[in-house]
Chains A and B, each alone.
Chain A
């Protein structure tokens, strides 16, 4: 299993440009998440999904959109990039976070700079 795969690893955008961060997992996990990591601020949840066709906002959803058309894929869309969206983005997945021994599996991250 490849686990959670994120692309691209690095990207530089100009203000106002749009892009999609790709995330796919091959573990048949129901739950998928997008976090952003700002220096010294920990990881903040942007959006999450509990299954195909179902998405919900996290703590910092403004400026982002997501979709979950399949179990495997959970892309994150930035429509009008702003400097405040410069961050490292992590995708994660889990089968059922409510279960006692569950844990998150993380992707390797996407470093995004908006200039």
Chain B
């Protein structure tokens, strides 16, 4: 069965420091990976998806099939990046999303 693991429940960094939120997955097929974000008092929303290979708000994520990882990175964290981040895996069966446990990112001034 598919599984998404985010090993860090909380990640605290100072403004301007690099950030890496870890995500590992297990799935035997061809995965589609996403990062969703929930800012304070806002709804959960899509941040980026691996197939687009895009940079959103300075964040990037590369799918590493060998390590089954999809870590989210940003070279210089900003205070407004403080939020809850969820990694999600979409599998071919029913196109359902499986979410990781989430990582709370706190960027201190």
Contact = CB atoms under 8 A, between A and B. Distances in A.
A32 B25 CA distance: 24
A107 B46 CA distance: 13
Nearest to A107: B43
Interface string B89-102: 01000111111111
Given A40-B9, A40-B102, A43-B86, A104 B46 contact: yes
What size tier do the contact residues of chain B reach?
20 to 34
Contacts of B95: 97-98
Nearest to B104: A40
Dominant secondary structure of chain A at its interface with chain B? loop
A69 to B, nearest CB: 22
Given A42-B6, A92-B44, 13 more contacts: A42-B86, A42-B99, A44-B99, A45-B97, A97-B90, A97-B95, A97-B96, A98-B95, A101-B52, A103-B49, A104-B44, A106-B43, A106-B44
17 contacts: A4-B43, A35-B99, A40-B102, A42-B100, A42-B101, A43-B86, A43-B99, A45-B97, A97-B95, A97-B96, A98-B95, A103-B34, A104-B44, A106-B43, A106-B45, A107-B43, A108-B43
